[in-house]
Structure 1
């Protein structure tokens, strides 16, 4: 065990894979995630400087629809799409939901 992370078995997927420790970004919507579970879907707690704020998401926006599947931007990044209502206006807001990088284990094909 290193830095609080338990390493998986090196041969879990077979000999053609190795286990490597990498730094991966944590998914971070950039606002209070309990909104997704509330009845009114009103955005609260937008984090200053987050990708959500930079994309234009604001406290008080009402989430009408969130992309059910992430759409690939490239091999490493995905973006999230929200349809929101702000007052009488409907907007589409897209951003990379990324936070700080944390250590994790990843299987890599040899």
Structure 2
């Protein structure tokens, strides 16, 4: 019975069950009829704008990088003892945050 709990076999069982559910759903679904209304954007009954809301992930990259560096600093402080050995790391984190903030 323990062999059923091994990750590769459990994954294969999950895969077979998932594909079976997918096939059953496709059998029960009515045939698809394409229409222009199905492809048009819909937002709460209002006409949706056709432009992009954001050009990509680039506006959020600096924010994500900032928080990643802050978390790294917290890990450095939280996992080590406060001694002169961690000062170079903390100075590096502070300089990186300064560079990210100033652009």
Output the TM-score relative to the length of structure 2.
0.24
Kindly indicate which of the two structures has a greater share of residues assigned to strand.
1
* More RCO (CA 8 Å, sep 6+): 1
Kindly indicate which of the two structures has a greater share of residues assigned to helix.
2
